[in-house]
């Protein structure tokens, strides 16, 4: 990791490497993204253009073939042809002389258009009539043996195939439009009419379109044979694309193929012709524009990086020179030489750093002097601490005198049958021991309530019948934890503010209940004069915001709340409800411990 971050290398090298990365990485990322996006855009444009070309060619061919199907229907519906299709044998055909009439009909239809190479009528096992003559057109009698003959639909629909017709001196590729002949009497197929169309018009249509610079278009029939190919050698041959399921399962689309080279293939099927038109464009031709963009960005990256390095060297020099000067002065300070100062040449961050270093050296000089004087005071402080420890030991002797004095008072009261004075002395002694001996910040609720009971008993001797109290606690509360001296300050406030002769007898009740499985509440209630709303608001504000070191009124309640919050966290503490002339209720929320 240190090697990758160059932490042990010079600052100059690190700045040059990092600045180079800041230029090269973003530029390469931009080049990659630009190349990918431009390639995608160009590919989409090529797909869209090829699809539009295919749709135009498909529309022309559909109308073109439709004309021939109409011509074939006119021949089939001619009365002479209708009579021929119901004849049963060769003798009947020869005796009727209809052969010459049919031949004349075929001649008229064939010579009416220059793109018709010939028309052939075949009556199954009876007769073959064509526009070539059997002697010159040797393949007419062999039509029934070709691969497509049995696949021509029986329902009268046309089928288009590509094949070669052989003359005595040459062979010519044609598109044959084959249609079954149906007897008007039996409505069963009795033969076939085949119209042979030369490739002149199809070539003209294909030559009208341009697929890129070197792309080309082909046409496949429903079996995957070439219907059209720029090289007539492939006509009728099986196309290598016949095994591509995407081409035959979808009506149109595009895909990348790799036969002899990587090419973009776009296809669309004509339902009326049963043909699939394809365009193929070399993929490198499609993405040539993106290659140019990539090369341009790479050159820009090289030039930008060179300029960045020149500027970086200049910038690095302006930064590193004052840093090296500062480094030399730091080495002097390490050796204890505080006499020199760094020369500040600028007001930038490095200048501020140099100025700060000079201030730090001055401050270090002052601190060294202060340390010298602090060493002198350290002995004096140690002596004072020993003196304080002696005073603490002396203060611990005084409580024992108080315990003994209270016990003496209790004994004297018992000798003179003064039980109330003896009880007060005993309660004060126990309160004093509890206060001085319990050092833990928390203790059991039963111990805290015992102290409260002692305090209330002492106060009852003072107020007599004007004060009554009740402690009503569930058994499970006795073993819960509570901060030390949490209840006594609150009970003291109840007596101080609640015992009023004008209100008659004051009643203080201490109870508890389980609020949830995580907390319980101890309630201290009195029926005293209560509080004004302004005073109650002030107390609530003090509970949350008052600084207990400032002293003042209500400091005992605030102290209890803060100690609970400190020991148990937010959500635990005091809440006071009071209403004028209706008494006061203090709720202490504490965490519950399940045994």
Reported as type and span, the H/E element at residue 574 is strand 573-578
Confidence tier at 511 by pLDDT (50, 70, 90):
very high
Determine the pLDDT at residue 226. Answer: 81
Question: Is residue 354 pLDDT above 90, yes or no?
Answer: no
Radius of gyration over alpha carbons of the chain, in Å?
A: 57
Mean pLDDT of 283-295: 72
Q: 467-472 and 506-514 as β-strands: parallel, antiparallel, unpaired? A: parallel
Tens of pLDDT, residues 137-165: 444 566 777 777 788 888 778 888 877 77
pLDDT at 569 over 90: no
Which of the 8 DSSP states describes residue 225?
B
Whether the Cβ atoms of residue 577 and residue 524 lie closer than 8 Å to each other: no
Q: What is the pLDDT of residues 258-275, one digit of tens each?
A: 877 888 888 888 877 778
Strands lying side by side in the sheet with 506-514: 467-472, 506-514, 519-526, 584-591, 573-578
Which residue(s) pair with 214 in the sheet?
none
Query: In this predicted structure, what is the pLDDT of residue 577?
Result: 92
Reply yes or no on whether the pLDDT at 113 is more than 70: yes
Residue located via tokens 């036969």? 259
Report d(CA 157, CA 90) in Å as an integer.
27
Task: Identify the pLDDT of residue 437.
Answer: 58
Tens of pLDDT, residues 276-287: 888 888 877 777
What are the tokens at 546?
């008052």
Average pLDDT over the chain, rounded to an integer: 76
Strand partners, 514: 520
CA distance 150 to 130: 20
User: What pLDDT is attached to residue 587?
Assistant: 94
Across 23-126, the runs of DSSP E, i.e. the strands, are 116-123
pLDDT score, position 395: 44
The CA-CA-CA angle for residues 499, 505, 510, to 5°, reads: 75
Q: What's the pLDDT score for residue 134? A: 43
Q: Beginning with the edge strand found earlier in the chain, give each strand of the sheet holding 127-130 in spatial order.
A: 127-130, 116-123, 189-198, 171-182, 159-166
What band does 514 get if pLDDT is binned at 50, 70 and 90? very high
Residue 191 CB-density burial (10 A; 0-12 exposed, 13-18 middle, 19+ buried)? buried
Nearest-angstrom CA–CA distance, 259 and 533:
94
Q: For residue 330, which of 354, 365, 347 has the smallest C-alpha distance? A: 354
22 has a pLDDT exceeding 90: no
Share of the chain above pLDDT 90, in %: 7
Condensed to tens digits (0 to 9), the pLDDT of residues 57-84 reads 888 888 888 888 888 888 888 888 888 8
Region 105-115: what's the mean pLDDT?
A: 83
Please report which confidence band the pLDDT of residue 401 belongs to, taking 50, 70 and 90 as the band edges.
Answer: very low
Enter the pTM of the model.
Answer: 0.42
Residue 524 — very low, low, confident or very high, per pLDDT cuts 50/70/90? very high
Number of residues that this document lists for the chain: 595
Q: Which alpha helices (H) appear in 335-418, and where do they start and end?
A: 349-395, 397-415
Flag the least confident range among 28-32, 244-248, 549-553.
549-553
Q: Please give the Cα distance from 405 to 357 (Å, whole number).
A: 68
Query: Cβ distance 469 to 460 under 8 Å?
Result: yes
**Dihedral angle, C-alpha 397, 400, 402, 406, nearest 10 °:** -170
Query: Helix/strand/coil (H, E, C) string of 336-352?
Result: CCCCCCCCCCCCCHHHH
More confident residue, 206 or 136: 206
Residue 451: CB partners within 8 Å, gap ≥ 6? Answer: 430, 431, 434, 485, 487, 488
Hey, what long-range contacts does 332-339 have (CB within 8 A, 24 or more apart)? 333/361, 333/364, 338/364, 338/365
User: What's the confidence (pLDDT) of residue 405?
Assistant: 52
């Amino acid at each position: 990791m240190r090697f990758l971050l160059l932490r042990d290398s010079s600052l100059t090298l690190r700045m040059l490497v990092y600045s180079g990365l800041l230029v090269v990485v973003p530029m390469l990322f931009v080049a990659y993204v630009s190349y990918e996006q431009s390639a995608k855009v160009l590919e989409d444009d090529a797909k869209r253009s090829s699809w539009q070309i295919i749709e135009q060619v498909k529309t022309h061919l559909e109308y073109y073939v439709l004309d021939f199907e109409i011509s074939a229907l006119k021949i089939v519906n001619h009365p002479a042809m209708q009579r021929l299709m119901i004849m049963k044998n060769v003798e009947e055909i020869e005796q009727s002389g209809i052969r010459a009439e049919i031949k004349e009909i075929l001649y008229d239809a064939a010579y009416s258009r220059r793109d018709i190479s010939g028309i052939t009528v075949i009556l199954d096992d009876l007769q073959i009539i064509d526009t070539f003559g059997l002697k010159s057109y040797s393949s007419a009698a062999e039509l029934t043996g070709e691969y497509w003959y049995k696949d021509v639909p029986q329902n009268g629909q046309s089928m288009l195939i590509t094949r070669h017709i052989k003359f005595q001196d040459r062979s010519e590729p044609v598109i044959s439009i084959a249609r079954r002949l149906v007897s008007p009497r039996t409505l069963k197929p009795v033969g076939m009419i085949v119209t042979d169309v030369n490739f002149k018009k199809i070539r003209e249509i294909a030559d009208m379109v341009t697929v890129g610079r070197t792309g080309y278009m082909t046409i496949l029939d429903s079996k995957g044979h070439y219907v059209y190919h720029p090289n007539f050698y492939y006509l009728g041959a099986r196309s290598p694309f016949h095994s591509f399921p995407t081409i035959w399962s979808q009506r149109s689309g595009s895909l990348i193929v790799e036969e002899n080279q990587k090419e973009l293939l776009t296809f669309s099927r004509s339902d009326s012709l049963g043909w699939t038109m394809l365009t193929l464009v070399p993929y490198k031709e499609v993405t040539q524009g993106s290659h140019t963009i990539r090369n341009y960005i790479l050159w820009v990256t090289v030039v930008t990086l060179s300029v960045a390095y020149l500027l970086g060297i200049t910038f690095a020099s302006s930064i590193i020179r004052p840093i090296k000067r500062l480094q030399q002065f730091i080495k002097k300070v390490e050796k204890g030489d505080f006499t020199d100062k760094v020369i500040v040449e600028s007001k930038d961050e490095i200048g501020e750093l140099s100025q700060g270093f000079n201030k730090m050296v001055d401050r270090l000089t002052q601190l060294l002097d202060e340390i010298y004087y602090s060493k002198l005071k350290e002995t004096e402080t140690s002596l004072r601490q020993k003196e304080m420890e002696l005073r603490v030991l002396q203060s611990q002797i005084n409580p024992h005198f108080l315990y003994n004095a209270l016990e003496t008072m209790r004994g004297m009261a018992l000798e003179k049958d003064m039980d109330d004075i003896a009880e007060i002395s005993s309660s004060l002694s126990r309160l004093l021991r509890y206060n001085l001996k319990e050092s833990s910040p928390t203790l059991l609720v039963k111990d805290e309530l015992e102290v409260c009971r002692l305090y209330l008993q002492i106060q009852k001797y003072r107020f007599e019948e004007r004060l009554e109290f009740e402690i009503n606690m569930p058994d499970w509360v006795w073993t819960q934890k509570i901060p030390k001296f949490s209840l006594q300050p609150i009970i003291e406030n109840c007596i101080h503010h609640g015992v009023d002769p004008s209100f008659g007898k004051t009643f203080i009740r201490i109870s508890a209940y389980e609020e949830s499985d995580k907390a319980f509440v101890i309630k201290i209630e009195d029926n005293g004069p209560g509080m004004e709303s302004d005073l109650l608001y002030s107390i609530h504000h003090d509970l949350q915001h008052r600084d207990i070191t400032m002293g003042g009124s209500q400091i005992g309640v605030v102290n209890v709340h803060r100690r609970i919050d400190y020991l148990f966290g937010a959500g635990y503490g005091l809440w006071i409800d009071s209403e004028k002339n209706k008494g006061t209720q203090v709720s202490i929320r504490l965490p519950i411990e399940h045994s």
